[in-house]
Every structure is written in structure tokens, then in C-alpha cells.
A and B are shown apart, each in its own frame.
Chain A
Amino acid sequence: MLWIDLFRTATFRLTLGLVAVIIIGMGLQFTLLYGEMNGYEQLRSNDLLHRSAALLVREEPHELEVKLRERSTNELRVFLNGAAIFDRNHHCIAGDIPNWPKGLHSSPAVQPLTMTLPDGSRTMMRFLVVEVLGPAGEEDRLLVLARSRHMADELRYMVWHAAILSIVPVVLFSLLAGMLLSQRALARIKSIHQAIERIMKGNVHERLPVGRGRDDLERLSRSVNHMLDRLEQLMGEMRDVGNDIAHDLRTPLARVQARLDRASALSHDLSAEKSEVFDKAMGQCRRDLEQCFSIITALLRIGEIESGQRRAGFAPMSLGPLVTDIVDLYEPIAELENITLYVVLPDQPAQMVGDADLLNEVLANLLDNALKFTHQGGWVRVSVGLYGDGRIWIEVRDTGIGIAPEEREAVLGRFYRADKSRHIPGSGLGLSLVAAIIRLHDGILEIEPNESEVAHTGTVFRVIFPSFSVQNMTFSSGKERF
């Protein structure tokens, strides 16, 4: 995983590119070096061939023959790999080149030719043909001198080795350097990722880490931070506008309510028949108005909770009594609907830091919901527990109509009503309020189908709060920020 991450970093990819460039550069460098050295070796070869020829030309024809025959023992073996005298018809007279090499011309220049050696291998040789005096005193003989390219081959071998030997450590070193640099980049990216995750969790005051550097990552982080500032400001303005609207609606609505209240009193003056119609209309108006109020209040509450101001009022508290009390409050409703209401509490106290009023609201909403959607004869169970790592969970499990998997995320959104629940009254904001309160407490809300063996349908709402000590730390840092 780490290796894949490493490979994915831009720095590491850059390093790889750089390594490729280095390899190509070194290849070019060695090719050039080899070319130069090869050229020099050729010049040296030619020079040697010419000088040997110049020496041999001066020999007596007979002496020359002897010298060639005894080449393996004299100094000629050092400079030459082959030497022979041919007549005009290219028949070998003396020397160790038995046949006239194919394609060899009688010209004063050195000629490179590929030859098949007696053992069958082919090799490249450089030949020089010079006319020499025969026993008759005429220049009717041809002296052929040959020099193999094995010096050049050795040179190539040497250069190739040098190239390999120098490229491997350079590549390894570059890769190592690249990895170390990427590791650094990766660590920075990781801290940026963590910051972004915290922001996405709703901690809108959080910013990306920025040091004093001026590199591209820092500059990018700064730009992102500026963007976040702007977004936060816009969000604040949006919230203010939303809150202002809700706020401004309250006063005129309060007036409407007051007028309705006064108008209701007039029903006494009407005839019995009219009074009934009037009262009915008034009742409907009141109910609608109440719904308006509950929506406005819930919207303002959500806005207030999302602003995070309520964190200031967080205090240590125990969830057990909270749950027991609220279940006690809802007990008569469950009884009325013939629903069994259970409480399951852990052996050790579930301590956490939070706002008891808000958590009561969460529990009340979840209970409201569970009871509303559970049929007569069903059951609802509220349980509290602790995970091994100290996190606290609260679960409200019902045997109600259940929530379709595709609707589980949507029910937390504002004004969402599941298809099955359209006929049941409510503002549609209860669960978004619940979600906002849980977010404020750094908790998470899980919705699952109730798969308990006794139940056929139903839903589980599970709230998980971080462990107490972690929560505490979040607060201290939170307070510093505000």
C-alpha cells in the first residue's frame, strides 16, 4: 500500500523521469567516448599497418619470405595478426593467410573486411595491401598485412562495463533520493488530507497546514486556505440569510397567530352552524401555523447547532440516567400504542462530554420516530454500550416499517420524508436536527435494518460518540481556535 502510494506521488514520478534522462545521458556519453576511442584505435591500427609495411617493403624478397614464415617468433606478431605474400594471381606464396581475402583490392588504403577464421567464427580485420619486389626484381608480388579488431573489441567491452558499473549506482542513488523526497511529500500530503477530512466532517474553521516555505505545495495550500476562508464567509452569509428569513417570518406569523386567537373569540356571536364551520377553519389555520412555527424553529435550531456555538456549553455527563429519564417520558405513548419499550444499559457508566439538552433532543427525536413508525404489538429498544476502545454507542432499535437502503442517507437531509411515511405528520426536520447535533458532538449516525431474529422489519439508529478522552482533546483544541 505504502509502495503504491509512493509510486503515485508526483515527486517519485519526477524522479523516475529524471533517472531515465540520466540513463540516456550516460548512454550518450559512453557512446561518444567509445566512438572517440574507436576512431583513435583505428588510426593507431592504420598507422601500425603502414609502418610495418614500410619496414617490410625494404626487405629482400627472400628475407621477406623467411620473416613471414617465422612471423610467430619475430616481432611482427606483436603488431600484426596476419601477414602473407601473394602473387599477381592471388596465390599465397608465404605467410599465414592461406587464401586471398574476399573483396580485398590492391589499393594503398587500409581496408576493413569481415573474414571467416579457420574455426568458423567471423571477425572483422583491417587489411593493407602493398606491392613488393619478387625474386625477379619486379614488383609482381603483393604483401597483405592484417590486424584484427580485438583491441577495439576489448575497448568496447571495457567501455560497456564502465557504463554499467557507473549507471547502476547512479540509478539506485537517484531512486533512493526520490523515495526519500517522495516520503516527505507524502507526509505533507497526508497532513493536508487529514485537515481536509476534518473540514469535511464539519470543522469549517480548520485550515490546511502551511509552513514558512514558498514551494508549490505551500502556495497551493495557501490558495486553498484563502478559498476556504471565502467559502466559510459565504456559508456564514448563507446561514445568516436563511436565519434572517426564518427570523423575520416569526414576527408576522406571531401577529397572524395573535389575530387568529382574537378572531376565535368571535365564534360565540355566530349561529351554531356557522360557528362549527368557523371553528373548524380556525382549527386548521392553527395547525398549519403551528407547523410553520415548528419548521422555522427547527431550521433556526439546526442553524444554531451547525454554527458550533453550543460547544461552549458542553459538560461531562452520564448517558445512563439521560436515557432512563427520556424512556420514562415516552413510556405512556408506547403503552398507548401497545408497543414494548426496553432499555438496556451497560454495567459501567457511559460518561461523555456534551450538551444534555441537545442529547435529550436526539433521543426524543429517535424515540418519537421509532414509536411513530412501529405498529401495534411491536417493540422498541434503546440501548447504550461501550466499545473496547472507549467509544460510546446509543442504539434505538424498532420493529417499524423500516427504511429502504437507498433512502438511508436521504432521511438525514432537510425536509425528507420517506415514501412510506408521507401520511404520518412531522416537519421532516427531526432527523436533520438529530444529525446536526450528533455532528456537533463529533459523533456519527448509522442507520441499518433491524436484523434481530425476533423482528421481521424495522430500523436501527445507532449513534457512536468518540471516546471521552479523545473528545476532551478535541475540545481544548476547539476552544483555542474560537
Chain B
Amino acid sequence: MGQKNQRAESAAVSEQTNLVEETNECAAARLLLIEDDESLAAEIVANLEERGYDIQRAATGTAGLEVARASHFDVMVVDRMLPELDGLSVLESLRQQGYMVPVLVLSALSAVDDRIKGLKAGGDDYLGKPFAMEELAARLEALLRRPMQGRASLLRVGPLEIDLIERRASRSGRVIDLLPREFRLLEYMMRRPNMVLTRTMLLEDVWNYRFIPQTNLVDVHIGKLRRKIDAPGEAPLIQSIRGSGFKLCVVD
């Protein structure tokens, strides 16, 4: 909830977003990684470079702070435990000096307390080790591409349309009957079209839960929603991304 608000506050308000433009922006994104573990850093760099990021890496807190001040980055990934200056201190001093670059805090301490500390220090998202690269990539993408803001009472993505006041959803004019929890899920996905949304992101942001379910809870919810929005013969809108999560896929 907290990070959602923070993201919302720091984001530029844009009613209608051009998706194609954003994807291009994403490809050119400059990323600063502050991580002391050599091989994990190497893996992250290799993986994210493949995804089109322009990455610079610092191994210590002080070095990271210098690099972050010296040039502009679109997004930062900061490990919490760093030699010399820890991640949260780096984050705090950056925020104090007015650097508003979105930051994802990375840490082996994934307990809720630490997460809250990380977010309080000015982090925009928090990811506990171990994590899947897809999870990191999805969250970075979410940080770079701000969700569509909720000023409008009507959200429209591809053939889908939801009325936030009437709590009504429709696809190409066909009214879709949704339960409140399904409506919330669809709204969250429609605010982030064409973005990979991991199961953890959905659980944390849509339902505000911080546990990892033993069952395929999220998949079941998505499955139900999918059956409601895709009538027989219509193109499926929600894609499963293997090893990552789900994506509301629309082409304009």
C-alpha cells in the first residue's frame, strides 16, 4: 500500500499513456546497480543487459553514492548490506539531496520490518533475496513505467473498459459481471497494461498480503478473471509468462 502511494506521488500524472513510446523508453533505461557480491552482480548485469538496460555497477556504498550523484539514472537497484556505507544510508542521503530516481532495495533480509524500513528510507520497492530474475525485471519495469493514474473515472485498455465509479467492466461493449475482488484485480492489471506482473506483486499490491501461499492461489484468481473477460472466440487478453507471472496484453 505504502509503496503504491509513493509511486503514485512521484509519478508524473498522465491520463492516457502511449504504450509504444514507453516500451522504447524502457529499452534505453539507464540503471545503477549497487551490489557488493561479485557473481550475483555479474548475473544481474548479464541478465538485465539482455533485456536492454544500460547498466553501471558500483561495489560499495560510497562509490555508489558518488556515481549516483555524478550522472542521471532512470532506476537504481541497491543492496541493503554494503561495505563502507549501507544501502539505506545511500538511499537516505540521495533523497535528502533531492534525487528522485526510483530505487529498488535488494536484500537478504526480506522480513516485513526490513521491508518497511527500506520503504521508509525512500525506496520505491523492496525485493528479498533470493529472487527470480523475472521478478526483478518485472519490478524494474513497473518502476520505470508508472501505472496509469486514477484521476479518470474510466479506464480503457484495448477492447476492455472499466468504470471506476459505477464499478462496471465491459469488453467491446459486452458487460462483464465481476465480483469486487475480480474487479480490483482487473483494475490493477489495466493500470499496468503490457507489463509483466509477478504473483508476488499481485498478492502484495492487489490483496495487500505479504505471505507466500503454498497453493497456486494467484493462478486460480487469474484463471477465473480470464474466463470472464475472454468470451468464446475472443482473443485471450491475459497472457501467462512462464517463470514470471502474467501480462494484460493489448495491441493498439
Residues on A close to B: CB < 8 A?
247, 250-251, 253-255, 257-259, 261-262, 264-265, 286, 293-294, 296-297, 300-301, 304, 309-310, 313, 325-326, 328-333, 335-336, 357, 360-361, 364-365, 368-369, 371-372, 425-427, 430
Contacts and interface: CB of A to CB of B under 8 A. Distances in A.
A257 B181 contact: no
Given A254-B40, A329-B207, A329-B209, A261 B134 contact: yes
Contacts of A264: 243
A358 to B, nearest CB: 8
A354 to B, nearest CB: 13
Contact of A364 (B130, B181, B213): B213
A304 to B, nearest CB: 5
A73 to B, nearest CB: 115
Interface string B26-59: 0000000000010110011011001000000000
Interface residues of B, number: 35
B214 A430 contact: yes
Contact of B47 (A250, A261, A336, A426): A261
Contact of B133 (A251, A257, A297): A257
Contacts of B112: 310, 313, 357
A369 B112 CA distance: 23
Given A297-B110, A336-B220, A360 B129 contact: no
Contact of A257 (B39, B132, B220): B132
14 contacts: A250-B130, A258-B46, A258-B47, A286-B243, A300-B110, A325-B207, A329-B207, A329-B217, A361-B210, A364-B209, A364-B211, A368-B213, A425-B214, A426-B214
A371 B43 contact: no
Given A251-B108, A304-B111, A329-B181, A258 B43 contact: yes
Contacts of A371: 215
Contacts of B224: 332, 335
Contacts, number: 102
A372 B243 contact: no
Interface in B100-148: 108, 110-113, 128-134
Contacts of B133: 257-258, 261-262
Nearest to A246: B108
A294 B133 CA distance: 16
Given A251-B40, A255-B39, A309-B113, A333 B217 contact: yes
B176 to A, nearest CB: 16
A262 B108 contact: no
B141 to A, nearest CB: 15
- Tell me the interface secondary structure of chain A in the complex: helix
Contacts of B134: 261
Contacts of A313: 112-113
Given A364-B213, A368-B213, A371-B215, A332 B220 contact: yes
A255, A293, A426: residue with the most chain B Cβ atoms closer than 10 Å: A255
Nearest to A372: B215
Interface string B199-228: 000000001011111110100110110000
A360 B44 CA distance: 33
A298 to B, nearest CB: 8
A300 B130 CA distance: 12
A257 B210 CA distance: 22
Contacts of A293: 130
Nearest to A357: B210
Contacts of A304: 111
A333 B220 contact: yes
* 10 tightest Cβ-Cβ pairs between the two chains A and B: A258-B43, A254-B130, A261-B133, A361-B211, A368-B214, A332-B220, A250-B130, A250-B129, A253-B130, A357-B210
Contacts of A265: 50
A253, A330, A332: residue with the most chain B Cβ atoms closer than 10 Å: A332
Nearest to A355: B112
Given A257-B130, A371-B215, 14 more contacts: A247-B108, A254-B43, A255-B43, A261-B133, A265-B50, A309-B113, A325-B207, A332-B224, A333-B220, A357-B209, A357-B211, A360-B210, A361-B210, A426-B214
Contacts of A301: 111
Contacts of B181: 328-329, 331
Contacts of B212: 294, 297
A297 B129 CA distance: 9
A368 B212 CA distance: 11
Contacts of A286: 243
A257 B243 CA distance: 11
Given A310-B113, A329-B181, A333-B220, A251 B129 contact: yes
Given A332-B224, A357-B211, A368-B214, A254 B243 contact: no
Interface string B154-175: 0000000000000000000000
Contacts of A330: 217
A247 B111 CA distance: 12
Contact of B215 (A257, A296, A335, A368): A368
B185 to A, nearest CB: 11
B132 A261 contact: yes
A326 B37 CA distance: 38
Contacts of B37: 251
A247 B109 CA distance: 8
Contacts of B214: 365, 368-369, 372, 425-427, 430
Contacts of A294: 212
A247 B37 CA distance: 14
B180 to A, nearest CB: 8
Contact of A262 (B39, B43, B217, B220): B43
A418 to B, nearest CB: 15
Given A264-B243, A372-B214, A258 B207 contact: no
Nearest to A259: B43
Nearest to A426: B214
Contacts of B210: 357, 360-361
A361 B212 CA distance: 8
